[in-house]
Every structure is written in structure tokens, then in C-alpha cells.
A = this chain, B = another copy of it.
């Protein structure tokens, strides 16, 4: 005997009434509703999700798709758990569950997406690792699947995203360094066209201009995002014909090797050159001098994603329409001593 049928038989009423009572439909006698709820509790009845999904066309599941690379798994992803937690906290308020789809870098993102969508595994999808040009975006828009992106793209279409405030971080860094007398500030950037690098770079240039400082292309270092990139940055810094007095980093993991390589050449961070890091990272805890870097609260990133997801689901759109605009999560500067070098 099936779940709801059993409950209905136990109560001697129809399954329809049981369903209406449990789903808080208005047209149910209040006394009946209480009887039903009490019995459901007693018998431990919970509606079968497949039955509901099939009938209603919604799954009450939100999918979160992200790329797992070896590098991410080992280091950058102390963020990930906090983000997942933040999403979960928000969507759980509406009894939605989180389906996490880790995707190896080799797999085809379109295919995964198509599978989730067509199989109707989820009511909405959160995508991460968004690229400047990202084919998933037109695909999702076209398929009319509610989605939110963690990360902007520069595609000429309108879609929901949240992102970290890279403009703000670059602006604050440049302003801080300039206030300390620096005029030649080098910037480390990703080699590829990843969006956050672009945003960070633009804000760097804009801020320089606003402060009346010249932009020198020689000060732009395109480097890799892993730890080896730190060494590369040091080499480029030392190779400059007209030296820079400060350097700002993208990527979390550059700092350590940068320190080491410079130190091997008698250049001490904080004394001979000012360094401002990017995202704070546990691995930096022991760096001497302590790295000035930006703190991101992963939980609030997750919550923002959750709210924006809800705002995109037909069922909850009205309730969360104030989350309609795209959200930029602040990065808060934690001062260390790595930029104590004052001109």
C-alpha cells in the first residue's frame, strides 16, 4: 500500500484531501487539516518526490555545477564548502535540495547541462567557473532553464550572475598603494581570457587614470595561476628596465614563491617592494611579512547565489524580486605588512 493511500485509508478520507491538507491548500477544513498532519507525523509520512515531480513538473532540486581541477581540489577550494553551505541555507527554507555536479575539466559542459535539463533533474542550475565567452549561457537562456552564474561573462546577453567585487579590490589596492607614494605599480594577471582578470585589469587602469598616473604596459605580467606563477612574477619584476615599487597579485597562490624568489635576490617584501595579494588563503598564514590581501566570505557568496536562484524560479520569483539585480559580493582588505614599504 502506497504512502498517501495508506495515510488516506488510515484516516478514512480520500487521498485528494490528504494531499490538499498537507500542502496547505486553503480549501480544507481546518480540523481535517490538523488530523491529517498529526497522522502524517505519527506514521512518518513524507511525500515521494518522484510522484510529486512527475505530477507538478518541478523537482525541488537545485543543481550546482562546477569544474574540479586538481589545483582547485588542493588549494583554492576552501571557498567551495562555504559557498555550498550558503546556497543550501537559503534554498532549504523552501525545502529545496542541492544537487552538486562536480565536473572534470575534460568533460563537455554542454552535454552535462543538457543531461540535467532534459532529464529534469533540477528546477534550476547554478553554474560556476564562468568564462568570458561561455556557451552554456546562450544554451540555458535558449532552453529557458532558470540559472544563475557564479562569475560574469562579457557575452552580449542579459543573464543572472553574482560575482566578487574585483573592481573594488583593484581600486582599493591602487588607491592604497598610491597613497603610500607608489607610482609604478605592477599587476599580475591571468594569461587566458578569464573574466575576473579582465575586470581587475580594467579597474586597475581606470583607477590609475583617475589618479592621474600613466599606464605602462611593461608593468602588466601575464602569468600562470599556480604556485609557480609566483616565481615568474618575481623574475618579471626584477627584469624591468624602469623598476616598479609595488606589485598587486591576482590568484591566491602566487605570494609564497614570489617572496622566496625575491628574497633570494636580496629583495625583501614590505621593505624593498610593496605587495598586495588577492584572496586571503590559509596557506598565507605563516608568510612573513604578513600578506595584505582581501577576505571573501564564502557563505555570503552562497547566500547571494541562493537568493538569485530563487528569484529566477517561477514559483518564488515574486517573493524574491528584490534580488533581481546582479550582485557583487564585497572583498574586504585585511592589512598585513607586505605593503609597508612607503615611498
Count of interface residues, chain A, beta-carbon cutoff 8 Å: 48
Determine whether the beta carbon of B46 is less than 8 Å from that of A115. Answer: yes
Q: How far, in Å, is A6 (CB) from chain B's closest CB?
A: 12
User: Taking A73-B298, A256-B285, A287-B286 as contacts, is the C-beta distance between A46 and B99 under 8 angstroms?
Assistant: no
Q: How far, in Å, is A90 (CB) from chain B's closest CB?
A: 12
A75 at the binding interface (Cβ < 8 Å): yes
A78 at the binding interface (Cβ < 8 Å): yes
Determine whether the beta carbon of B81 is less than 8 Å from that of A77. Answer: yes
Contact of A84 among B49, B50, B100 (CB under 8 A): B100
**CA of A148 to CA of B162 in the docked complex: distance in angstroms?**
36
Taken residue by residue from 48 to 59, chain A's Cβ proximity to chain B (1 for < 8 Å, 0 otherwise) reads as: 111101100001
Report the copy number of this chain in the oligomer: 2
Taken residue by residue from 92 to 103, chain A's Cβ proximity to chain B (1 for < 8 Å, 0 otherwise) reads as: 000001111110
For A121, the closest partner residue in chain B by CB is: B49
Interface centre among A44, A59, A68 (most CB of B within 10 A): A68
11 new A-B contacts at CB < 8 Å, known A84-B102, A98-B100: A46-B114, A46-B115, A68-B85, A72-B81, A75-B282, A85-B102, A97-B121, A256-B285, A282-B283, A283-B283, A283-B285
**CA of A81 to CA of B78 in the docked complex: distance in angstroms?**
9
A88 at the binding interface (Cβ < 8 Å): yes
Determine whether the beta carbon of A75 is less than 8 Å from that of B73. Answer: no
A89 at the binding interface (Cβ < 8 Å): yes
Interface centre among A61, A78, A115 (most CB of B within 10 A): A78
For A103, the closest partner residue in chain B by CB is: B88
Q: How far, in Å, is A264 (CB) from chain B's closest CB?
A: 16
Between-chain CB contacts (< 8 Å), 27 pairs: A3-B118, A44-B118, A50-B59, A50-B120, A53-B53, A54-B54, A68-B81, A68-B84, A68-B85, A72-B81, A73-B78, A73-B81, A73-B82, A73-B299, A74-B82, A74-B282, A78-B78, A85-B104, A97-B99, A98-B101, A98-B102, A100-B100, A256-B286, A282-B282, A283-B286, A286-B286, A286-B287
